Amino acid sequence: MPTVSQWWEYFRKGTQHYKNDTVHWDAWCNSCLKHRTNEIVQFQRVTSQSSGSAGVVMSYEDAEACVMADKTASFYMPGKIDRMVRHLSSCPNVPDSVRQAAALERFQSKSRGKENRPPTPIIPP
Ligand SMILES: [Zn+2]
């Protein structure tokens, strides 16, 4: 059973808080981020080769910074576990095992939520 911090293994934690959220950090899905960055790097390599203009290719780091600057990306989210797990459960870029574990976690946290809601508040002695 993965713990909260284990889900962070699949995410890049930002250095800032998400929008106006003072609790949650910026988070990007690592697999999607890598995938998108590689796409940009590959695309630039192809276009610079065909046009013959060398030196316009962004480094991987620069391309990644561009990807992370796009706050409309579907793999950019607040670092809330339920949001992260929800993304992983339908992420096309993570291994099947991760997607399945995330789907299971979503299912279990839903049923946990129901069980853990007592009909009356428990007052400590
Ligand atoms: Zn993803």
Per-residue pLDDT of the chain (125 residues; tens, 9 = 90+): 456 678 999 999 999 999 888 889 999 999 999 999 999 999 988 887 777 665 567 899 999 999 999 999 999 999 999 999 999 999 999 999 999 999 999 998 888 776 655 556 666 67
Give the SS3 label for residue 119: coil
- Ligand 1 geometric centre to CA of 84 (Å): 9
- 85 burial class (0-12, 13-18, 19+ CB within 10 angstroms)? buried
Residue 98 is encoded by which pair of tokens?
């991760």
Residue 78 is encoded by which pair of tokens?
């607040």
Residue 27: which H helix or E strand, with range?
strand 25-29
- Ligand 1 geometric centre to CA of 33 (Å): 7
Give the SS3 label for residue 24: coil
Question: Domain limits of the chain?
Answer: 4-114
The Cα-based distances of 64 to 38, 54, 58, 113 in angstroms read 9, 20, 9, 37
- Ligand 1 geometric centre to CA of 122 (Å): 39
pLDDT score for 89: 97
Closest C-alpha among 34, 38, 30 to residue 13: 30
State the Cα–Cα distance between residues 121 and 7, nearest whole angstrom.
Answer: 31
